[in-house]
A = this chain, B = another copy of it.
Amino acid sequence: MSVTAAQGFTAAGIAAGIKDSGAPDLALVVNQGPRLAAAGVFTANRVKAAPVLWSRQVLRGGRVAAVVLNSGGANACTGPEGFQDTHATAEKAAGVLGVSAGEVAVASTGLIGVRLPMDRVLAGIEKAAAELSPHSGEKAAIAIKTTDTVHKTAVAKGEGWTVGGMAKGAGMLAPGLATMLVVLTTDADVDAAGLEGALRAATRTTFDRVDSDGCMSTNDTVLLLASGASGVVPDEAGFAEAVRVVCDDLARQLIGDAEGASKDIRIEVVNAASEDDAVEVGRSIARNNLLKCAIHGEDPNWGRVLSAIGTTSAAFDPDRLNVAINDVWVCRNGSVGDDRDLVDMRDRLVRITADLAEGDASAVIWANDLTADYVHENSAYSS
């Protein structure tokens, strides 16, 4: 049900001809109100795509009437002309939908450094607007795919209200958000400040802790739109948890469909002196290419975990570190632990536990293995 699971939203997903393949590449999500509250979280990359610069500005107003999303081109590193393209996209949607351009968010994904074919984008917006429906959430989710092999949607229900969402992202997945576009919608009656709090809390422990390949995108966008159509004001904690559940579900789907990956790696850092330490150590492990190759080879190479921990500034004593792979404590007190032959790594899911033996903070980071398929896919992406 995707972005149309909540009442008060329509969507469309169509082929505008942005992609040479003719696959769907333009999506529209429209909030029919009565509320138009919205919050957004964007990439931490200092090189930001034109749609990110635009939408960040839109979100400052806390109101979003519609979101235009396209795959087939990131509109990043395209200069002032690229920003004009985003502006024209928002103006076009505003005109067709009868809303203000300042309430139209735009999100793009695809190759960096290439202008969008604006004639096709603008014609596509007209076509999409004509197909808007409360039943087209799946179509919208399909239209934002790039190298994704499947489209990603999730839904959580509260008492009388719903949170739904869609996501795309398969590569350039790293802290500070992934190369991902995410639109979440709810019919709960929540104002922009309430959405902002719930969204920031949710992304901090979900999308921000997905690190598929260590590469941070120029285009990451996560939007949460509320229509208030249910007429129900949810309790704050319950709403925040529903948003977190949907984000976590989508984040896991991103990892599960990452480019070329054969393993999903769940890295849990425990007994850290602080959550910051736990996250730093988890990310260092997540980004270690040698370890990622070892996991691909189903090799419980805990030495590479220790060498990754050793590059961090977290509090730990090298002689008190413990590491488990799939619950076998192959490293104890910084040295050889239980028999590594006991580790069964045949499943797609591989769990690494790093015990820093310093405090009681913890964090979970999700990563993928490094494979020849990843290399192949990304050495051929733009050609």
Contacts and interface: CB of A to CB of B under 8 A. Distances in A.
B79 A334 contact: yes
Contact of A335 (B77, B214, B304, B336): B77
A215 B381 contact: no
Contacts of A216: 307, 310-311
A246 interface: no
Given A334-B77, A378-B290, A218 B112 contact: no
A45 B318 CA distance: 10
Interface string A306-341: 111111100010110100000000010111100000
Given A82-B335, A290-B213, A307 B218 contact: yes
A249 interface: no
Nearest to A318: B47
A24 interface: no
A331 B77 contact: yes
Contacts of A379: 293-294, 296-297, 299
A290 B174 CA distance: 12
Give the oligomeric copy count: 2
Q: Which of the four size classes fits the interface of chain A?
A: 35 or more
A293 B375 CA distance: 5
Interface string A52-91: 0000000000000000000000101111011000000000
Contacts of A383: 297, 299
Given A297-B379, A375-B293, A375-B372, A77 B303 contact: yes
Given A47-B318, A309-B47, A375-B296, A214 B331 contact: no
Interface of A: 44-48, 74, 76-79, 81-82, 111-115, 171-172, 176, 213-218, 287-290, 293-294, 296-297, 299, 301-304, 306-312, 316, 318-319, 321, 331, 333-336, 370-372, 374-383
Query: Nearest 6 pairs between A and B by C-beta?
Result: A112-B303, A297-B379, A47-B310, A79-B335, A372-B372, A293-B378
